[in-house]
Each structure stands twice: as C-alpha cells, then as structure tokens.
Amino acid sequence: MKEWWRGGVIYQVYPRSFADSNGDGVGDLPGVTARLDYLRDLGVDGVWLSPFFTSPMRDFGYDISDYTGVDPTFGTLADFDAMVARAHDLGLKLVIDQVYSHTSDQHAWFRESRASKDNAKADWYVWAEAKDDGGPPNNWISLFGGQAWSWDTRRRQYYMHNFLSEQPDLNFHNPEVRAAILDVARFWLDRGIDGFRLDVANFYYCDRLLRDNPPKQTGGGGQFLRPYWHQRHLHDRSQPENLAFMSQLRALVDSYGERMTVAEIGSDDYVGRSIEYTEEGLLHTAYNFLLLENGPLTAHLIRDALERWTSDTAWPSWSFSNHDVVRARTRWGGPDIEAAGQGDAFAQVLMGVLMCLRGTIFLYQGDELGLPQAEVPFEKLRDPEGIRFWPDSLGRDGCRTPLPWHQGEPHAGFSPIEPWLPVDGAHDPLAVDAQQRDPRSTLAHTKRFIAFRNAHPALRLGAIRFLDAPEPILAFERSYGEQRLLCVFNLGGVALDYALPEGSFEVLDYGLPGVVQGGSAHLPAWGGLVLGQAQL
C-alpha cells in the first residue's frame, strides 16, 4: 500500500514485557514472532518495536553498545530476521527504534574516544575542558537529574549526556559520526524493516559554542519538580543543523521505497517543533507529548492539540500512552472513575476518540486491553529515572509491566517465573484470553474501532473540523472526498444531550453507547456516536 503509514494504526511493542518465549521472565523476539497473529487480528497496520539491540541495560535498551547486534536477552539476529519475515507474511509492517542521539558508555566508539584526545574517534562525542574552577563547561542539566556533564579521568575532560552518565552524546557536528549513523540505518533497511522510530529526534546536535541555557521564569522556583524544566533549552537540543541531517536520513530511507520515519519530539513547543521536523523533504511524521503528559482530559485539550497542527503538508501522529508515561486510563481517569466502576467504559471511550483523530495513530501495548497503570513497589523498581525521583515520580515501570495473556495463571501467563517487573493483580482479569471471550471487552471494542477506521477513508486520510460544544462534549467532523462523518463523544461521567447541527444523519455502528433522539445525540457517561452525514 502506498504510504501505508498515513492514517494507519501502529502498535508499539515493548519487547521486555510483551511475550516471554523461553520462560526466563523477560520478553524476547521469538515471543514477539509467536504473537504477531494477535496483532494481525487486532487489525493494526504495523508494529513499532522498542530497542532490542546489544546493551548493558542501564536504561533498558536505550543505551546501545552495538547498533547492529541483538542483545542475547532478546535472541539473535536470526530471530530478528524470522520476525521480519513472519510480520510480512501476515501483512504487517515493522518499524524499529533507532537511538542516534547517544550510545552506551560501553560502545566501542566511546571506549576509543575516551582513551585519549588524539585518537581516531576523539571527536565522536561531545567533550569539553573544565572551567578554571574545575566545573563543567556550562549549566546544561540532564533530563534524569544533575549536570549534563561527567568528568572522565582518562581524557581529563567532561563529556555531555542528556540522560544518564552512562549515555554519552554523540557529536553530530563530526561528519564521520553522521556517516556512521547512516551506515547503521542502511544495515537495518537492508534487513527489510519498514521504517524507523527516531528516539529524541531533535536532540542530535548541541550548540558548537556550548553556551549556557537561559533560565525559564518559574515564579519563584517551585513550579517544576525537576531541575531540567527550569531552563529554556535553546542550546542543548533543536539546533538548526539537526534538520539538515533529517533531510539526509529521509533521502536514504526514500531510496529503499515505501519506508517511513516517525520522530519523537521533546520540546517546549510540542506541535510547532513536530511540524518543523515533518515538512516536505524531512521526516514522514512525528509525535510529541502534548497528549501524553498533559491533563486533565477535556474536550478542549484534544481540540487544542489537533488545531495547533496548522500545516497542510506535514502529517501528525497521536498517542495517548507509551513506554515513558503513565497509562492514559490512570493519568486521565484516576481513582474516582475506578471506584465508580467506570474504568472499562472510560478506557473504551478513550480508544474510540483516538481512532477517530486525524493523523497516524500509535497504540501502546496493553491499551487495547484498557490496562491501568500498574503499581510497582519501590523495592521492585527498575527504572533509573523512577528510582532517582521517587517518591515525587514513580517513573516508567508502571507502564512497562508484562502484558497479561492468560487470566488466573501465574504472572498472568506471561512467564512461569517471576518476571523482570511484577504483574499487577488488577491486570489479571483484563488478560487477553478473558477479553477475547467477552464481546463487550475493551479488546473487542478496540478491534471494532480499528476496523471501522480502516473502512472509512475520512478517518484515515480526511480533514478534521471541530464544532463548538460545551464541556465535556467533544465534537468534530471528518471529511474525505464525498464522505462526511460527525464524531461526538461524552468525556464525562454523567449522561448528556448534544444538539446536532442541521442535516441528515445516519447512525453508524461504531460500538460506543449513544443514540439519536430527535435532533439531539443522547450520550451516556463515556458514550459516543459516529454519524454519516448526507449534508453538512
């Protein structure tokens, strides 16, 4: 399919927690391969596979020590090739993570770079002399806390790291680094992958002069929990040279035919930066954290996010959850909805909204089951970010726990032994096999929503126009060619009526509770309707 990704649904697999084929408590590539039929039956277009590369796992795969190797935790390169072949046999595309901003400090490149100031790779990472007082060269701060600089006793210089000290940043100003990274991309393209998800895509370059970041006005310093957010990140990310490299990467990917790139964008200007990176000749699409980190859930939040995407040429992507944030059911729902017994209905309306949005949709593993955020006790936390910022933040472990496959089995059927992260008991009744037997389950609704999206070009490819409606009603039109759809959702826990615009409407079988009575849509709590319109 030409531009298969445009308007498609791509399912994110976090391989450590998806399927364990060998019973060691950790998911692996053969496990993914064995479960690809499940994803085909779900109806998605493709799979985004989080890192599986050789790594000391200080940041669980986002610290790569060999870009072209498969970590033994996950299997072998032959296992990867078998997974690609099986995915393609099933009609699924495969998109893999690429972490180009930084490597592990155990990567051969960094080991050579740190050995001296005059070796062949001395300038492959961002190195700097100490200030006269012995301090780091500037005020940059790591996302994971503390300075973005660590002292290396061998070179007697500081090296930069936007994340852990074990994740040194590559120096993209060096053309040899850019060439080496493009060689990495070629390696995986030659193995038949269908695209790349680019981790922190706007972090590849930093300011050559290493200038200080200016402060962000916080009104007294208490607005932000983490030091990183006290700065305006003008010099340590989103440099203009970054766009030129994106153009190079795009040209390489395009030379392989129908492949795609999706950028992860971290920025104070979520949507503006995403558009910048996806204009013509750059990346195919991008997602950002506007709907992944912000709340509470309101119709205004959804409308504002999509209406900010003002480009007619750049193509957006949207997701409500991923491996870095609290699952949407918990982040937006909270304990009151669960206490009222409305958690499943809330999860289903979230999925219903997501599948009607304009853009490419990324669906995080477990959201098709309506999983809430898992509770992981402090002594079982594995995420370095969560441990560092506990208890203000519980980190990312709660969204990374193993997928429950079989209700009532040890560890919900993920593994015969205790897995690398515990399975929350609240996930057991939401296991895949239990939901497959229930036509009212969130899994059943997700399949229905994806099939509906695939059957209606207005949802995959069409324009979007929001209608004025009182909170918590979210109403918008999708249009493509002669097809016109009206989507109306109640994002509240009390039944409401919404006066429909003038015109003739046909209630389509979308799957959420709701009816048309006279000239109004009657929407139960967490209800919704999709209507076909004869005229607007």
CATH of the domain at 483: 2.60.40.1180
Report the DSSP pairing between strands 528-533 and 505-507: antiparallel
Show which residues are catalytic: 199, 264
Nearest to 405 by CA among 422, 421, 429, 426: 429
Q: Does residue 517 lie within any of the structural domains?
A: yes
pLDDT at 221: 46
Q: Does residue 68 lie within any of the structural domains?
A: no
State the Cα–Cα distance between residues 342 and 369, nearest whole angstrom: 14
| DSSP assignment string, 46-65 | EEEEPP-EE---SSTTSS-S
Tell me the angle at which helices 241-254 and 270-277 cross, rounded to the nearest 10 degrees. Answer: 50
Q: Does residue 411 lie within any of the structural domains?
A: no
Return the sign of the alpha-carbon dihedral for residues 440, 446, 452, 458.
Answer: positive
Report the SS3 class of residue 257: coil
Do 59 and 384 contact (CB within 8 A), yes or no? yes
Q: Burial letters for 324-336: b for 16+ Cβ neighbours within 10 Å, e otherwise? A: bbbbbbbbbbbee
DSSP-assigned letter for residue 333: I
Report the SS3 class of residue 435: helix
Nearest to 357 by CA among 289, 294, 309, 293: 309
Q: Structure pTM?
A: 0.96
State the Cα–Cα distance between residues 351 and 342, nearest whole angstrom: 14
Tally of structural domains, the chain: 1
Tokens coding 428? 């057991």
pLDDT at 1: 59
User: Which residues in 231-316 belong to E strands, given as ranges?
Assistant: 260-264, 285-287
* CB < 8 Å & 24+ apart, contacts of 274-281: 274/309, 274/314, 274/316, 275/309, 275/310, 275/311, 275/314, 276/243, 277/201, 277/202, 277/243, 277/246, 278/311, 278/314, 278/315, 278/316, 279/311, 279/313, 279/314, 280/313, 281/247, 281/250
Tokens coding 169? 């940043």
Do 453 and 460 contact (CB within 8 A), yes or no? yes
- pLDDT tens figures, 357-374: 999 999 999 999 999 999
Q: Does residue 467 lie within any of the structural domains?
A: yes
Q: Residue 482's domain spans which residues?
A: 460-533
Q: Does residue 498 lie within any of the structural domains?
A: yes
State the Cα–Cα distance between residues 189 and 182, nearest whole angstrom: 10
State the Cα–Cα distance between residues 366 and 323, nearest whole angstrom: 11
Residues forming a β-bridge with 128? 158
State the Cα–Cα distance between residues 213 and 383, nearest whole angstrom: 27
Do 385 and 39 contact (CB within 8 A), yes or no? no
H or E element: which one contains 139? none
Beta carbons within 10 angstroms of residue 47's beta carbon: 23
State the Cα–Cα distance between residues 72 and 49, nearest whole angstrom: 16
Number of C-alpha atoms within 13 angstroms, CB side, residue 497?
6
Q: Does residue 260 lie within any of the structural domains?
A: no
Beta carbons within 10 angstroms of residue 131's beta carbon: 11
Task: Sheet containing 360-364: give its strands across.
Answer: 285-287, 260-264, 195-198, 93-98, 46-49, 9-13, 360-364, 317-318
Q: Does residue 516 lie within any of the structural domains?
A: yes
Q: Which regions of the chain are under pLDDT 50? A: 220-222, 536
Q: Burial letters for 192-218: b for 16+ Cβ neighbours within 10 Å, e otherwise? A: ebbbbbbbbbbbbbbbeebeebeeeee
Alpha helices in 378-528 (DSSP H): 384-389, 432-436, 442-455, 457-461
Tokens coding 54? 């050789």
Tokens coding 57? 């796992």
Amino acid, single-letter form, for residue 432: V
pLDDT at 224: 64
DSSP-assigned letter for residue 443: H
Do 168 and 158 contact (CB within 8 A), yes or no? no
Euclidean distance between the first and final Cα of the chain, in Å?
Answer: 31
State the Cα–Cα distance between residues 156 and 404, nearest whole angstrom: 49
Q: Does residue 305 lie within any of the structural domains?
A: no
Tokens coding 464? 């979007």
